[in-house]
A and B are shown apart, each in its own frame.
Chain A
Amino acid sequence: MKRQTDIAVIGGGPAGLSAAVEASSFGLKIEVFDDNFTPGGQLIKQTHKFFGSKKHLCGYRGMDISKILLQNCASAGVTINTEACVTGIYGNILAVLYPERFEEVESKAFVVATGASENCINFVNNDLPGIYGAGAIQTLMNVFGVVPAKKVLMIGSGNIGLIVSYQLLQAGVKVAAVIEALPNVGGYLVHSAKLRRMGVPIYTRRTITKAEGDGNTGVNSAVTSQIDPNFNVIEGTEIQFDVDCICLAVGLTPLSDVLELAGCRMKYIPELGGKVALHDEYMKTTRDNVFLCGDVSGIEEAVTASLEGKLAGLSAALYLSHEYREKIEKSRLQILEELRIFRDGPFGEKARKGNEKLVREYKYER
């Protein structure tokens, strides 16, 4: 006999944990499946404080937010399975691969909160040891306490690139420079200003063309060049940095394979970072019992992920029981309004446009 649950949440980051807590208030059995040793997703490696109100768990460090969410899960009776890698949703069956066994779990509804994977870019020797994604650098430093390198070149000046550069400095690692392909720094001024005060140069309209080193000892230098407005390399503008690590913070792609395998209608939406499942504003996909939230529904950040998680959790609960319809519908409207406020402003513009596109497509499909 297969193990049974009411709602299976795939992914234990801010989105998934928020969904689980929210759905648990309606007498439903909730299980979270996370492939890591420790649940919490990206939060567990985030040592910086979040901007925003306490109501949205801002003002705390990311790693402390994950502790709060996990405490909430525990008091709500949510079961969390760790080292539980979900390989697919087949009808009502969740396929889960643990280190030593395989399990099929039967669930009435699914909330997919699988997050995103880090992007790579093309340059010569981009597979040398010493070339990491920013997430990997954070995991090494902040989760396992391992110093990743002596001197790093950061590629990408979005918030992740800037924050990880600062964390590297805090860990005593030198940051040679931050390289940005666009004409302007991508992240918040407050982060870039901190770096500049520490003497880290930020080069815009510049990209990495080549890593040097060998397969045994790893990277020993990085060659960068200026680029024209069409992103073509301008000859004769090379700057070489002697570094033993190149960190890529060049964006994320929604990790949506599970949704596609589950038979949800997918759509490529560049504003959201790649292929995403069509869904309505309440996070329901084209499959009635499959919901999604967080980066898998479009790349944003932890607060919107958490709000989307609450929406998805409420929608999944409503799908299973109409007993609390009025209460759930009221809460959902409230969260939608909070999301709208969060996405208001220039930094939320991309997500706003992408989400509008998605909901429009969803309605068209229906």
Chain B
Amino acid sequence: MAEFPKTAECIVIGGGIIGASIAYELTKVNFGKVVILEKNTVSSGSTGRCGGGIRAQWSTPENVRLAMESVKRFRELEGELGTDTEYEEGGYLILAHSDEELSQFRKNVEMQKKHGLQVELLSPEEAKKVVPLLNTEKITGATWCSTDGSINPFLINFAYMKKALEQGASLYERTEVLSIDKEGSKITGVVTPKGVISCPVIVNAAGGYAGTVASKARIELPLVPHRHEILATEQINRFFKNMIMSFEHNIYFRQVKDGGIVGGQTNPGEPPGTSVVSGISFIKEMSVKLGHFIPALGDVKILRQWAGLYCMSPDAQPILGRVEGTQGYFHACGFSGHGLMLAPRVSVLMAKAISDTSFHDPDLDRLGLDRFEKGIASFEKSVV
């Protein structure tokens, strides 16, 4: 094994989808020596624990734009990275349970359409046509976007990482960043148990641990990690390809390519923290919910359950880009549970911002840390 590096041009902290995609985009434009430090293993954090959904149906324009641009990238990525990622545009069906919710959906659809998203409002009958086994009894309507879809989180994470390494990046797993060195306001390097690396640029892509990493550079981030639980059932004949979501019932689920149902919910009253222990109430509640939405799932067995972290920001939108007053520090964190689906676009923007200090992009600028001082423009409401 190569000797632990003493210097680098850029250190990416985190080997999840965000860290891997940024390392890939940086090495693609020949940024220089990129080192990825991962405290556990690649995809062991939020990426490898997520549901794999990809959607552009958001309530804030920033999220819609980032997601739509990401979908364009997802279409190119299998070819570009040379790996099957199980990317599929199976659509997202988001259910409304009241007239009030439906009118919010109407507003969302209007805004999303302005950005060019092919999205439509469906009646309960039309929703049933998308998934014939869906129980539409208490549904007032739904939104449908056929270009939303899903991907295998591990495969896309590994694919980005593999290509980044081929392009010259180096990866160190089980290597936690102990502290971040600064001289005045400039980043000068990081300290790990394996050695010290001098480096003028670091990227905080540490997912659920982004707040801890930032504090090592004496930057305070308004991020709170929360445990989110998820389960997978046994394989059954595939009868729908889309994601089904309900904000009212706090649930999302889809049938993955091999036939298993994968779905999760937000546990009400979940305290902040980095615990990823599995709970029994989750299994009980999900069993009831899945059986309610698709009665035919009643006898399907749950194979396993696990949990991961949503790193929530105050407006449920990511915190991106540079930081005023700390030269060489960048962040791409606080994705609030939606890092995978925004990664392809965010990584392109981040690579540009890192390699060109004069680069500006309206979304990147609007999603900077300073928005919490200036005043938040919009809150993302469409979160499960």
Interface residues, chain A, CB within 8 Å of chain B? 87-88, 90, 93, 95, 102, 104, 257, 261, 263
Contacts and interface: CB of A to CB of B under 8 A. Distances in A.
A90 B283 CA distance: 11
A88 B305 CA distance: 10
Nearest to B304: A257
A90 B278 CA distance: 7
Contacts of A87: 283, 302
Contact of A104 (B277, B280, B302, B304): B280
A82 B266 CA distance: 35
Contacts of B284: 102
Contacts of A95: 280, 283
A263 B279 CA distance: 11
Interface residues of B, number: 9
B277 A263 contact: yes
B278 A261 contact: yes
A289 to B, nearest CB: 15
A51 to B, nearest CB: 39
A90 B284 CA distance: 12
Contacts of A90: 278-280
A261 to B, nearest CB: 6
Interface in B276-325: 277-280, 283-284, 302, 304-305
Contacts of A102: 284
14 contacts: A87-B302, A88-B278, A88-B283, A88-B305, A90-B278, A90-B279, A90-B280, A95-B280, A95-B283, A102-B284, A104-B280, A257-B304, A261-B305, A263-B277
B277 A93 contact: no
Given A90-B278, A93-B280, 16 more contacts: A87-B283, A87-B302, A88-B278, A88-B280, A88-B283, A88-B305, A90-B279, A90-B280, A95-B280, A95-B283, A102-B284, A104-B280, A257-B304, A261-B278, A261-B305, A263-B277
Contacts of B277: 263
A115 to B, nearest CB: 19
Contacts, number: 18
A317 to B, nearest CB: 26
A290 to B, nearest CB: 14
Nearest to A90: B280
A102 B284 CA distance: 10
Contacts of A261: 278, 305
Nearest to B303: A257
Contacts of B304: 257
Nearest to A257: B304
A87 B280 CA distance: 10
Nearest to B306: A261
Nearest to B302: A87
A95 B278 CA distance: 13
Best-buried of B278, B280, B283, B302 by chain A (most CB within 10 Å): B280
B39 to A, nearest CB: 17
A298 B302 CA distance: 26
A93 B305 CA distance: 16
A261 B283 CA distance: 13
B275 to A, nearest CB: 10
A175 B211 CA distance: 64
Contacts of A263: 277
B284 to A, nearest CB: 8
A359 to B, nearest CB: 23
Contacts of A104: 280
A257 B305 CA distance: 11
Interface in B317-352: none
Best-buried of A88, A93, A104, A263 by chain B (most CB within 10 Å): A88
Nearest to A93: B280
A261 B279 CA distance: 9
A87 to B, nearest CB: 8
Nearest to A94: B280
A88 B277 CA distance: 12
Nearest to A263: B277
B360 to A, nearest CB: 47
Nearest to B284: A102
A314 B304 CA distance: 31
Contacts of B278: 88, 90, 261
Contacts of A88: 278, 280, 283, 305
A103 B47 CA distance: 33
A104 B283 CA distance: 12
A78 B280 CA distance: 26
A87 B284 CA distance: 12
A40 B34 CA distance: 58
Contacts of B302: 87
A257 B302 CA distance: 13
A93 B302 CA distance: 18
B138 to A, nearest CB: 25
A263 B277 CA distance: 7
Closest 10 interchain pairs by CB? A90-B280, A95-B280, A93-B280, A263-B277, A261-B278, A90-B279, A88-B280, A104-B280, A90-B278, A95-B283
B231 to A, nearest CB: 11
A88 B284 CA distance: 12
